[in-house]
Amino acid sequence: MKQKVTLTQAWQGNADCLHCAIRSSALFSGLTEKDFEMIHEPVGQVTLEPGCVIYKEGDAGHHLFTVRSGLVKLVQYLSDGTQRIVRLAHSTDVVGLEILVADNYAHEAIVLHTAELCRYPKDAVNLLSQHNPVLHKDLMTRWQKALSDADDWLTRLSTGPAKKRVANLLLRLVDKETTECFLFGRDDVGSILNITVETASRVIAEFKREGLIEQLGHNHFKLDIAALEAIAAG
């Protein structure tokens, strides 16, 4: 796992939320111009490279983040020091929601695929959510989505034999249009599926030999979706 890049103070302020490309599904979609005037700290945006740490577990913080593009992993460290990835956040997902009601982040957030992020000050979100019913409901919906994702993670990615888990992971990462999929290090695959690096590698190699996935480049595959779904259903 690379960890070369660190989050320097590269945030560029004054994102243009009113004309944001993903606004309809962004956190501040329900806000009016008047609402934006109430925010003193500007909404910042930044692009981060793989390996970059957005925040660490236990960090005090005052921001939550929307993932505009790319992929971010949320990691928790176990008592024995090993790490377990408890969620993946991709476009339109919010990470760091917990900072709205807690003082510290619950996970370590690390970029897996180059990601564009927006950053919101928690105080502004807390304040606005009490006056703006749309934002209020949107927040609830995001909590619900996070919880539903967590349940899905447990039932699909942490249950059953290794082949089934890997198939489910690939299907979750695939672009349905192109049937292509960008993967990442085998150690991360293992941390997600709760299997060892070797087992992850073995299963992926076997999928390649059996033609279920075709390698297009470094961690870049074309999937046989139907066949993988058969395995995923198990």
Partner DNA sequence: CGCGCAATTGAGTTTCGTCAAAATCGGTGG
Partner DNA sequence: CCACCGATTTTGACGAAACTCAATTGCGCG
Q: Which two tokens stand for residue 32?
A: 């009016």
Q: How many residues bind its own copies (CB under 8 A)?
A: 38
C-alpha–C-alpha distance, residues 20 and 134, integer Å: 17
Burial class of 93 by CB neighbour count within 10 A (0 to 12, 13 to 18, 19+): buried
Single-letter amino acid code for the residue at 133: P
Binding segment (CB under 7 A) for DNA, from list 22-30, 141-149, 156-164, 224-232: 156-164
Q: Are 167 and 228 in contact (CB under 8 A)?
A: yes
Which residue among 26, 72, 86, 117 contacts its own copies (CB under 8 A)? 86
DSSP SS3 for 217? strand
- 217 is a site residue for DNA (CB under 7 A): yes
Stretch that binds DNA, among 53-61, 105-113, 171-179, 193-201 (CB under 7 A): 193-201
Using the rule CB under 7 A, is 219 a contact of DNA? yes
CA 44 to CA 41: how far, in whole Å?
9
Q: By CB under 7 A, is residue 161 in contact with DNA?
A: yes
At 222 the three-state DSSP class reads strand
Angstrom distance (rounded) from CA 23 to CA 218: 32
Report angle CA 214, 113, 26 to the nearest 5 degrees: 120
Distance CA 199, CA 96 (A): 31
Q: Tell me which stretch binds its own copies (CB under 8 A): 4-12, 42-50, 140-148, 174-182.
A: 140-148
In the bound state with DNA, the residue whose beta carbon lies nearer, of 10 and 205, is 205
Of residues 70 and 96, the one with the C-beta less far from its own copies: 96
Segment interacting with its own copies, rule: CB under 8 A, options 19-27, 42-50, 64-72, 79-87: 79-87
Residues that bind DNA (CB under 7 A): 1-2, 161-163, 185-187, 194-199, 201-202, 204-206, 208-209, 217-219
Residues that bind its own copies (CB under 8 A): 76, 78-80, 84, 86, 97-98, 100-102, 106-107, 129-130, 133, 136-137, 139-141, 143-144, 146-148, 150-151, 153-155, 158-160, 194, 232-234
